[in-house]
Amino acid sequence: HTMRARSKSPRRSSGGARARKSSPGKVNNRSPGSQYRTNVVHVEELRENSRPVRYECTSTGIISNPTRILTSKEAAESYASISHSEDLAQRPASSAIAAVVFGWLYKIFLPEGYPRSVSSDYLPYQIWDTIQAFCSTVTGILASKSALAGLGVGNVEARVGAALYFAIVKRNIGKVSRIAFTTLKGSDLDNNAKTWRVVADVLNDLASALELLAPWLCVAGSDCSEQWHYSLLVIAAEVFRSVVGVAGGASRAALTQHFAVKDNFGDVNAKDGSQEMFVEIVGSFVGLQLSHMEGKGSVFAFALFTLFHIAANVQACRAVALLTLNRQRAHILCSHFLLNRAVRTPAQVAAEESVAYFGGSGVRGTRICMGATLPAIAAACDVPSTIRKSARANYLVGETTTSGALSMRREILVGFHVDATSEDFLRGYMHAFMLAKGGFSTEQVVRKVDQLLDILPAHGWRLDAAHVGPGTTRLSWDQDQAV
C-alpha cells in the first residue's frame, strides 16, 4: 500500500507539470464527469512592513500549489499560516532585528496604513514638526528654570502664600484671555490655519523669553512675586500662552484633518500626539543638561533654539499643500488665471503662499466685504437689475467708491442667498476679486469665474469647503423675478 501511494505521486506531479506546460496562464480543474479550463489572475497582497505576497487566483479559489486549487476556507488558513516570522527567518539576524524594530516604530508613531492613509505632504510636515517640537521643549525647560526662580524656589525669604496667590491670579487672567481671543478670532482659525500655527509658536517663544528675563528684574534677595514689573512680564507671558493654546490647537486640528485622507482623523491625531510626546521626552533631557548654564550662556542657548524653532515652523507650514481655498489661495489662483489662463495646483500655490497672511483683498485700495446686508448692497447697485443679470446665482455683488484726503477707496460688497453653498461662497469671492483687479465687465467676470471653478477639481482642488469668511448675514429673494 505504501509503495502504491508513492508511485502515484510522480504521476500527479508530472500531470500538473504537463497542464502548466500545455496551457500557460490556464489551470485544469478536474471534477467527476467534467473538465474545464479557467483564467488565472495574479494578485499581489501588500502587507504592512513586509514584502508583497503574490497569489494566483481562479474563479474557484486561490492557487497555493499549482497542482491544487484551494477553497476560500483553505485559502484563509493558508494565509494565516504565512507569518511575519517566516519572512524574517530568511533574512540575516541583523536585518531581521532591524525589521522588527522598524515595524514597531511604524506601529507606534505612524497612522495605520501609512503611507496610503495620509496625504503626500504628511512626511515632510512631520519632519519639520518634530524639529520644532524638540526646540520648543528645550526653550521651555530653560524658561521654566527662571520661572521657578521667580516664584521663590531657592529663596529662603520667599513666602509660599504670596507665590500661590500670584499663581492663581496669573492662571485666571490667562483663562479670561483665552475666552476673549476665541470670541474675537475663533472663526478665522480655520480660514488661515497656517498663519495661526506660526503665530501660535512665535507667541509661545515670546512667552518663554519673558519668563526667562523676568527674574533678572527682581531685586536680589527679595520676593519677585511682590514686584510689579516682574508680575507684569509673567502675566503677559501667561496671556500669550493662552492664545497659543487656542490658536495652536485649532490650527493643528485643521492641518490634521487635511492629512487624514481615509477618514482616520482620530488615528492621525493620536499618532501625532505620540510623536510629540516622544520628542518632548528627548528634548527635556537636552534641556536639563543646558539648564546648568548661567547668565549669557543660557540666553545664547535660548536664542539659538528659538531661531531653529521658528524656522522649522515656517518650513513645516510651507510643506503643507491644502486642497481647500481661503482668500489668499483664491488670490493666487485668480491672478494666474487672469494673466495667462493657467491653473495652479495645490502644491504650486503652497510654494507661493505666505504663512504671514492676515487678511486683505489682494488689491491695493480695495476692500471686499463678504456677507453684506441688503441696505448696503442696495446703496451700491440696482438690486432688481442685478438679480436679473445674476443668472440664478446665489449671490449679489455691489461696488461703492469713497474719496479720502489722499486716495480713493473702493469697497466691493457680496451678499449671499439663504441657499448659498460653499461653491457659491467661492464664486462670490472670486467674482469680487476679479472685479477689484479691474479691466473686465461684469459679464466677462462671471464667465471667467465659471470657467475657473469648472476646471479646479481636475487640478486637485476641493470645492466642498470654502474658507473665505462669508459672514453670517443671508438674504432671500425670488430667483425667478426681481422683487
DSSP alpha helix (H) spans, 214-325: 228-259, 265-290, 296-318
Angle 419-421-424 from CA coordinates, rounded to 5°: 105
pLDDT of 480 strictly over 80: no
List, in sequence order, every residue forming a beta bridge with 334; answer none if it has no partner: none
215 — pLDDT class (breaks 50, 70, 90):
confident
CB atoms within 10 A of CB 153: 11
pLDDT tens-digit series, residues 146-158 = 777 666 555 555 5
Instruction: Provide CB contacts within 8 A for 374, sequence distance 6+.
Output: 383, 415, 475
pLDDT tens-digit series, residues 261-319 = 998 999 999 999 999 999 999 999 999 988 888 778 888 999 999 999 999 999 999 99
DSSP E strands in 289-423: the ranges are 325-326, 366-370, 395-403, 408-417
Rounded CA gap, 351 and 61, in Å? 50
* Cα distance between the two ends of the chain: 100
Task: Please name the amino acid found at residue 101.
Answer: V
Task: Please name the residue that has the C-alpha cell 528645550.
Answer: 138
Rounded CA gap, 342 and 451, in Å? 12
Alpha-carbon distance values, 239 to 244, 245, 358 (Å) = 9, 10, 20
Task: Please name the amino acid found at residue 263.
Answer: D
State how far Cα 377 lies from the chain centre.
Answer: 37
Least reliable range by pLDDT among 17-26, 253-262, 271-280: 17-26
The DSSP result for 123-171, as a single string, is HHHHHHHHHHHHHHHHHHHHHHHHHHHHTTTT-TT--HHHHHHHHHHHH
Give the residue-averaged pLDDT of 128-150. 87
pLDDT tens-digit series, residues 216-225 = 777 655 666 6
Q: Which pTM does this prediction carry?
A: 0.75
Give the residue-averaged pLDDT of 226-244. 85
- 2: buried, middle or exposed (CB in 10 Å: 19+, 13-18, 0-12)? exposed
Rounded CA gap, 454 and 468, in Å? 18
pLDDT of 245 strictly over 60: yes
DSSP E strands in 34-85: the ranges are 34-39, 41-45, 53-58, 61-65, 68-70
pLDDT at residue 304, as a whole number: 94
Task: Write down the mean pLDDT value for the chain.
Answer: 79
pLDDT tens-digit series, residues 402-460 = 776 566 788 899 999 898 999 999 999 999 999 988 878 888 888 999 999 999 999 99
Q: Are 399 and 380 in contact (CB under 8 A)?
A: yes
Give the residue-averaged pLDDT of 33-47. 57
Rounded CA gap, 21 and 236, in Å? 82
